[in-house]
């Protein structure tokens, strides 16, 4: 069965600094018309940085849409045309004051595929050295280290609610487990 929907027209309702909102007229696979609301986002990156003591580097910051402080891995928005790994290097050092000697591609994460085109690139990072935080002037956050096993428990117990963080924590834990059992 053909699953592809065809775009007939696009009408931008809002163009902002971070997102654009458009309403598309589209055609379903059976030829029937439909309307699709789409949030365009340039994409992002998150880094699961693991210390030699098997602790992950986290940040806590206020997230306005939820009205609460959220525990997340270091992350950020991609600049237009920016290489995702370069963005990950930048965000890890800016937010956590950390530089890694080894990066592992953990794949892509689609946070809300029903209406948003954002793609988050996930990386694991090891071989950390610590430098100095270099936060943006509108960025306020606290850095903390949490043992990997505890972070997995926190994901399972819904103490970590951020989707990209959940995925990257579980992937790092699985890679660590596979590496440990292969030895």
> What is the distance between the alpha carbons of residues 160 and 150, in angstroms, rounded to a whole number?
11
Tokens of 131: 């430098």
For residue 100, the surrounding DSSP H or E stretch is strand 98-109
Half-sphere exposure of 6 (CA within 13 A, CB side): 8
* CB 46, CB 120: distance < 8 Å: yes
Q: Is 55 a catalytic residue?
A: no
> What is the distance between the alpha carbons of residues 118 and 102, in angstroms, rounded to a whole number?
26
Single out the catalytic residue among 137, 139, 144, 183: 137
Q: Which residues are catalytic?
A: 137
């Amino acid at each position: 069965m053909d699953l592809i929907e065809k775009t007939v027209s696009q009408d931008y309702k809002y163009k902002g600094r971070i997102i654009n909102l458009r309403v598309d007229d589209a055609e379903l696979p059976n030829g029937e018309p439909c309307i699709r609301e789409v949030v365009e986002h340039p994409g992002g990156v998150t880094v699961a940085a693991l210390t030699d003591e098997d602790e992950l580097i986290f940040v806590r910051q206020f997230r306005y849409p939820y009205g609460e402080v959220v525990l997340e891995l270091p992350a950020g928005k991609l600049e237009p045309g920016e290489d995702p790994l370069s963005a990950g290097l930048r965000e890890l050092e800016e937010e956590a004051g950390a530089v890694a000697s080894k990066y592992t591609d953990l794949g892509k994460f689609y946070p809300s595929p029903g209406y948003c085109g954002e793609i988050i690139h996930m990386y694991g990072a090891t071989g950390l050295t610590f430098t100095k935080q270099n936060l943006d002037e509108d960025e306020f956050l606290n850095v903390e280290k949490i043992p990997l096993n505890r972070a997995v428990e926190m994901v399972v117990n819904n103490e970590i609610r951020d989707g990209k963080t959940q995925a990257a924590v579980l992937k790092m834990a699985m890679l660590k487990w596979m590496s440990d059992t292969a030895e």
